[in-house]
Amino acid sequence: AQSVSQHNHHVILSEAASLELGCNYSYGGTVNLFWYVQYPGQHLQLLLKYFSGDPLVKGIKGFEAEFIKSKFSFNLRKPSVQWSDTAEYFCAVRRGFGNEKLTFGTGTRLTIIP
Amino acid sequence: EAGVVQSPRYKIIEKKQPVAFWCNPISGHNTLYWYLQNLGQGPELLIRYENEEAVDDSQLPKDRFSAERLKGVDSTLKIQPAELGDSAVYLCASSPPGDTQYFGPGTRLTVL
C-alpha cells in the first residue's frame, strides 16, 4: 500500500519569506499527485495537481510543485508567502489513472507572521 | 457551480446512539467518496461509490458503519452505535472520471 510522508508538521515563517514543504510517497507505479489546502474554518481545496507531462506544475495563488520521480517527491514551493497563506497543507497521492482513493500525508500547518 | 454539500455540519451525540451524515455531490460526478479525518491526520477513505455501487469499502468498519447511495446521486453514512473513538470529521468528496476530487465542508462528530 502506498504512503505519504510530510516531514514538516508545523512551519512558521514571516511574510515575504520563501516556502518549501516536503512530500514523499512510497508507491513505485504510476501516480497522480496533489496538494490540497485547508484555510481556517474552510474545506479542503485543490492547490495544484500533477498527472503527467512537465514535472513543474503551477497552481493557484503563486504556488508551484515539482515532481521528482527518482526521489518519489512532490515538494510545494512559493517564493514569497503572505499572511493569507496561513493554513494546513496536505499532500496526496493516487495510484494510476482511475478513480482510486487519495492517500494523504498528515499535513503541515503553516503559520505566517505579519 | 455548487460544491459538495454535507449536513449536518456539526453533531454531538452520546455514545451508543446512532448518527447519520448526508452528502450531495457535485452534479454529474459519478464517483463519491467518504473519508474520515482524525485530529492531526490526513483524511482516510472509508468507502468509494461508482454510481450506486460500492467499489471500495475495505476500510469501512462494517460492524457499526453502513453507507448507501441508492439512486447514484446523494449518499448517507450511518454509525450505529457510535463509540467515543468515532469523534472525528467525516468528509464527502466527488469527482468526474479520473479527475480531481472535490471535498465538502465535512461533518464534525463529537461522541460524549
pLDDT digits 0-9 by tens, A40-49: 989 999 999 9
Q: B106 in contact with A at a CB cutoff of 8 Å?
A: yes
Query: Which domains, from first to last, does chain B contain?
Result: 5-98 (2.60.40.10)
Q: Output the pLDDT for position A98.
A: 81
Helix (H, G, I), strand (E, B) or coil at A20: strand
Report residue B57 as a C-alpha cell.
469499502
Of all residues in chain B, the percent with pLDDT exceeding 90 is 92
Q: Output the pLDDT for position A27.
A: 86
Q: Output the pLDDT for position B1.
A: 65
Q: B50 in contact with A at a CB cutoff of 8 Å?
A: yes
Between residues A30 and B84, the one the model is more confident about: B84
Output DSSP code: residue B26: -
Q: Output the pLDDT for position A99.
A: 87
Q: Is the pLDDT of residue A10 over 90?
A: yes
Q: DSSP string spanning A50-112?
A: E-SS-SEEE-GGG-EEEEEGGGTEEEEEESS--GGG-EEEEEEEEESSSSPPPEE---EEEEE
Per CB-CB distance under 8 Å, the chain A contacts of B56 are 100-101
Q: B40 in contact with A at a CB cutoff of 8 Å?
A: yes
Test A46 with B41 for CB contact under 8 angstroms: no
Report residue B54 as a C-alpha cell.
460500492
Residue in A closest to B29 by C-alpha: A99
Q: Taking residues A35-42, what's their average pLDDT?
A: 94
Computed over every residue of chain B, the mean pLDDT equals 95
Q: Taking residues A78-90, what's their average pLDDT?
A: 97
pLDDT digits (tens, 9 = 90+) for B7-59: 999 999 999 999 999 999 999 999 999 999 999 899 999 999 999 999 999 99
CATH, domain range A4-113: 2.60.40.10
